[in-house]
Amino acid sequence: MSVVVGILFMAATYLILSRSLLRIIIGTGLLSHGAHLLILTMGGLKQGAAPLLSEKAGSYVDPLPQALILTAIVISFGVTSFFLVLAYRSYQELGTDDMHRLRGND
Amino acid sequence: MSLLHWAILSPFIFALFVPLFFKYLKNIHTGWFVLPLPILLFFYFISFIQETMHGETIKESVAWIRSLNISFTAHVDGLSLLFALLITGIGTLVILYSIFYLNKQKEQLGSFYLFLMLFMGAMLGVVLSDNIIVLYTFWELTSLSSFLLIGYWNNREKSRYGAQKSLLITVFGGLSMLGGFILLYLITGTFSIQEMMNQTNQILNHELFIPTMILILLGAFTKSAQFPFYIWLPDAMEAPTPISAYLHSATMVKAGLYLVARLSPIFAFSSTWFWIVSSVGIFTLLWGSINAVKQTDLKAILAFSTVSQLGMIMSLLGVGAASLHLESLSDGIYPVATTAAIFHLFNHATFKGSLFMVAGIVDHETGTRDIRRLGGLMTVMPITFTIAVIGSFSMAGLPPFNGFLSKEMFFTGMVELTHMDFSNVQTWGILFPIIAWIGSIFTFVYCMIFVFKTFTGPYKPDQLKKQAHEAPIGMLISPIILASFVVIVFFYPDLISHTILEPTVAAILPAQYIVEEIHIKPWHGFNIELFMTIGVVISGVLLYKLWPKWQAIYNIMPNKLTLNKGYDHALASLEKNSSNLTKLYMTGFIRDYLIYIFSFFILILGATMVIKDGFVFNTENITSIRLYEVILALVMVAGTITTVLSRSRLTAIIALSSVGYSLSLFFVLFRAPDLALTQLIIETVSVALFLLAFYHLPELTKHERKLHFRFVHILISFGVGIMVTLIAISANSQRVGQSISKYYEDFSYKLAGGKNMVNVILVDFRGFDTLFEITVLGIASLAIYSMIKLKVAKEGES
């Protein structure tokens, strides 16, 4: 699983380094996927029942990382949507999504 | 708070009221209100003479910062008292002089006297503090008030330049000194100078001794305008003349001498101290006197002569320290150099103060200070001329003025040095009297230039801005008082030798050397010093007469190689280079900054991993990998690669969503039903949003360009990916401690009454996270809403 996370991070980094704003946002999306998967992996991928007590299983998977990821998903969604609208607005105002042209006049 | 503390702080308190006097009592010159304070202080300090004469010291202490053991300790001994008397005494005379010098209608007198009071208080604080941190505080206050006073006419560019230069140099020294003080504290464990004196052996044998000494000496040398830090002093001459007389001849520039003298009992046992202090001093003496000869501005001559005389005193303090190494000292040979230093310090304050005032009078009454335009003022200004003669001849070291006495002692000290037998003084020491002698010849020459170019020769009324005439009596009082001191001290040296000089020397030299009585006599009989003085006079007169012939020699040294040019160049290139450096890495492209951040991330983590040998791989914790997982992982990787490689954005977005959906399938596989649900919904909404944004970005073709493959980017991405993988594997391979989730399993139902552990954690055990997560969503939606609305409002306006 670690390798998959690594590939996700790699791709995300590459996209974030690109010139187009939309690509950068896609990169952040990949990055948050990678991070969520990383949390899950680090929590331990041992076998067990879903964390529902009614299942009467002998062992459950760890519920804490799941709670953390749930929080993280919602937050990253909030930020991504804000970021998207920001990109949309900046395109409307400035007429470009090229990061190289989004430079202040100094 | 004792009376002594109030005395030190009184100028600061008084300074608060000065602007009020200036504002509400416009008819009377503000200086008159200020004048009584230094007079009072002067008489207050005179009252201490009785005690210091008998070897007593006065110590008063007030706690300042208790937790750091810093207390405001005032300590009066001979050395402090000499300085305190100089500060208040000359301060009184300077204020009196400034009343007649500065116009009450044209000048901002309120700020002038405020700065002056600030300076006086700071200077008193420097000389009377026993605690080094308090001393440093006052030290920087003198730098600051000097800065304000030099830049007093702040509409002139030269004033601002001079003020900035002096501040930069003296604060550089001050900060080095603070570093030295802190090291001193680390060595001794006390902030008190008096207590440090009991630990000299410990200080001398400490490994930090040399850095400590050099840092402190940097402070002293910058303040006292020693080579090569003297360059600020000639530029400080842009200050009003009373300020030049007070700060830049009599008091502030002597703060460095005070520091050297004050710390002599601690450092003087090291021969390094002797070598540094006396060679820097003697070289400054020579350099300053040679440079003074070529100046054409009266105040510039005086500035370089101040540099030179300060060098002389500094070298004498160094030689005085050398006398500690002599075994013969215990036989009763008197450390004449230290006495000479203190005596000359006093003399210099008197004659240099009067000479600056003379320069100010000449400037005030003729409109120029350029000696090429001046001349023949002897008959016009007889009193000023007399004072100038007295001051200059004393500076040149001629009888019957006090400069003669101290110069004789200076020669004695230098000649005696050659007889000393320690750390190679016997070989190189012969240079000291020779350099001193040459320096004295140049001193003689510029003293003669100062007097005779100004006051004799043809009178040139056409070149002067004003009709020259004698100064008002009020302006003459102060220089007359100082000049009369110059003469009186020659005839009655005992007047100050027992009362002031003896306790001062006792304070400088460590207690174990019993100070004999000082006998200053004008006449020693025919000895080597007398012949040296005669030689100085003869060669000086010859050189002065031939001055036009050898004047050209100064043109040999190119203007570019002077220290001033060096300073200016260094400052300019510092500014330019730092600006270039900033431009080099602050490109304004986000991509570049991201590259810095990512590379730093890789480097730091990679280095830590290598250094700490952090990478561990073991398979203990790893559960068996199932087929579903492999397939799903492959799907995910394929999605990722498609996202990166796709040429159109549509493909990229769809590939991204495929990654998101496979992530939710992962959540299903790893038994996380809530996560899978949330991820599915969120991914759907996100994709919709992406498409929405996509829809609004017109002209797809324009943006559907091929990705620029950049080697660096790929390298960095690989680095980040590999680093994360390695860290994940290592962290997984070396777990410490058990998970705390057992608690949730056991108590979710018992305590919270819920069976879905994830939900119980979210709303019950860790409900605060959820609260603020809701807040994040709320803020995001509000921000989105306002962004859209803002546009409408803007369009409505236009």
Query: Model confidence at B307, in pLDDT bands (50, 70, 90)?
Result: very high
Q: Which of A61, A92, A97 sits opposite B791 (nearest CB)?
A: A92
- Whether pTM > 0.95 for this model: the answer is no
Instruction: Choose among B202, B323, B328: nearest CA to B264.
Output: B323
Closest residue of A to B624, CA-based?
A46
Please tell me the distance from the alpha carbon of residue B359 to that of residue B387, in angstroms, as a whole number: 11
Mean pLDDT for chain B overall: 84
Tell whether A35 is within 8 A of chain B (Cβ).
no
Query: Model confidence at B704, in pLDDT bands (50, 70, 90)?
Result: very low
Q: Could you tell me if B758 and A67 are in contact, meaning their C-beta atoms sit under 8 angstroms apart? A: yes
Report CB contact under 8 Å: B741, A64: yes
Residue B423 has pLDDT above 80, yes or no: no
Tell whether B590 is within 8 A of chain A (Cβ).
yes
Q: Which of B659, B674, B710 sits opposite A30 (nearest CB)?
A: B659
**Amino acid (one-letter) located at B770:** T
Instruction: Choose among B47, B48, B14, B43: nearest CA to B31.
Output: B14
**Amino acid (one-letter) located at B760:** V
pLDDT recorded at residue B684: 92
Selected residue with higher pLDDT from B331 and B397: B397
Residue B331 has pLDDT above 50, yes or no: no
The residues in A 59-98 lying below 8 A from B, measured between CB atoms, are 60-64, 66-67, 69-71, 73-75, 77-82, 84-89, 91-93, 97
pLDDT recorded at residue B544: 85
Tokens linked to B655: 């590939």
Q: Which residues of B touch A54 (CB under 8 A)?
A: 755
Report CB contact under 8 Å: B672, A66: yes
Q: Which of B713, B728, B739 sits opposite A41 (nearest CB)?
A: B728
Q: Which of A4, A36, A41 sits opposite B636 (nearest CB)?
A: A4
Tell whether B728 is within 8 A of chain A (Cβ).
yes
Lowest mean pLDDT among A7-11, A49-53, B555-559, B726-730: B555-559
Please tell me the distance from the alpha carbon of residue A76 to that of residue B685, in angstroms, as a whole number: 13
pLDDT recorded at residue B85: 92
Q: Which residues of A touch B632 (CB under 8 A)?
A: none
> Cα dist. B44→A75, B38, B47, B247, B504 in Å?
73, 10, 5, 22, 18
What is the distance in angstroms between the Cα of B549 and the nearest Cα belonging to chain A?
A: 58
Please tell me the distance from the alpha carbon of residue B373 to that of residue B371, in angstroms, as a whole number: 5
Query: Model confidence at B333, in pLDDT bands (50, 70, 90)?
Result: very low
Q: Which of A11, A37, A88 sits opposite B643 (nearest CB)?
A: A11
| DSSP secondary structure, B632-687, as one string | HHHHHHHHHHHHHH-SSHHHHHHHHHHHHHHHHHHHHHTT-HHHHHHHHHHHHHHH
Phi and psi at residue B697, in whole multiples of 5°?
-95, 105
Report CB contact under 8 Å: B770, A71: yes
B81-92: pLDDT as tens digits: 999 999 999 999
Residues whose CB is less than 8 angstroms from the CB of residue A6 and which lie 6 or more positions away in sequence, other chains included: B721, B722, B724, B725, B728
What is the distance in angstroms between the Cα of A39 and the nearest Cα belonging to chain B?
A: 10
pLDDT recorded at residue B701: 40
pLDDT recorded at residue B121: 93
Report CB contact under 8 Å: B690, A20: no
Residue B194 has pLDDT above 70, yes or no: yes
pLDDT recorded at residue B303: 92
Neighbours of B576 (CB within 10 A): 10
Percent helix, strand and coil across chain A, each rounded to 5? 70, 5, 25
Q: Which residues of A touch B591 (CB under 8 A)?
A: 17-19, 99-100
Please tell me the distance from the alpha carbon of residue B724 to that of residue A9, in angstroms, as a whole number: 7
Give the mutation candidate from B598, B662, B666, B670 for the A interface (greatest A CB count, under 10 A): B670
Please tell me the distance from the alpha carbon of residue B667 to that of residue B674, in angstroms, as a whole number: 9
- DSSP tag of B584: H
Report CB contact under 8 Å: A85, B729: no
The β-bridge partners of B63 are: B71
Report CB contact under 8 Å: A73, B678: yes
B549-568: pLDDT as tens digits: 777 777 666 555 677 788 88
Q: Which residues of B touch A89 (CB under 8 A)?
A: 787-788, 791
Report CB contact under 8 Å: A14, B714: yes
B368-399: pLDDT as tens digits: 888 888 878 888 888 888 999 999 999 988 87
Q: Name the 3-class secondary structure at A30.
A: helix
What number is the ipTM of this complex?
Answer: 0.91
pLDDT recorded at residue B126: 93
Residue B621 has pLDDT above 80, yes or no: no
Report CB contact under 8 Å: A6, B713: no
Tell whether B36 is within 8 A of chain A (Cβ).
no
* Residue B5 C-beta-side C-alpha neighbours within 13 Å: 13
The residues in A 11-30 lying below 8 A from B, measured between CB atoms, are 11, 13-20, 22-23, 25-26, 29-30
The residues in B 633-672 lying below 8 A from A, measured between CB atoms, are 633, 636-637, 640-641, 643-644, 649, 652-653, 656, 659-660, 663, 666-667, 670-672
> Cα dist. B510→B194, B259, B632 in Å?
11, 15, 86
Q: Could you tell me if B393 and B403 are in contact, meaning their C-beta atoms sit under 8 angstroms apart? A: yes
Q: Could you tell me if B705 and A2 are in contact, meaning their C-beta atoms sit under 8 angstroms apart? A: no
Please tell me the distance from the alpha carbon of residue B662 to that of residue B675, in angstroms, as a whole number: 12
Give the mutation candidate from B618, B644, B762 for the A interface (greatest A CB count, under 10 A): B644
Q: Which residues of A touch B601 (CB under 8 A)?
A: none
Tokens linked to B275: 């070598």
Give the mutation candidate from B635, B657, B671, B720 for the A interface (greatest A CB count, under 10 A): B671
Report CB contact under 8 Å: A6, B672: no
Lowest mean pLDDT among A28-32, B271-275, B664-668, B671-675: B271-275
Q: Which of A25, A36, A78 sits opposite B776 (nearest CB)?
A: A78
Q: Which residues of A touch B621 (CB under 8 A)?
A: 44
Q: Which residues of B touch A49 (CB under 8 A)?
A: 671
Neighbours of B605 (CB within 10 A): 17
Lowest mean pLDDT among B46-55, B248-257, B332-341: B332-341
Please tell me the distance from the alpha carbon of residue B473 to that of residue B511, in angstroms, as a whole number: 47
Instruction: Choose among B501, B543, B541, B292: nearest CA to B398.
Output: B541
Query: Model confidence at B776, in pLDDT bands (50, 70, 90)?
Result: very high
Answer whether the bond into residue B399 is a cis peptide, omega within 30°: no
Q: Could you tell me if B271 and B325 are in contact, meaning their C-beta atoms sit under 8 angstroms apart? A: yes
Report CB contact under 8 Å: A26, B590: no
Tell whether B421 is within 8 A of chain A (Cβ).
no
* Residue B712 C-beta-side C-alpha neighbours within 13 Å: 9
Tell whether B709 is within 8 A of chain A (Cβ).
no
Please give the span between the terminal C-alpha atoms of chain B, in angstroms, as a whole number. 69
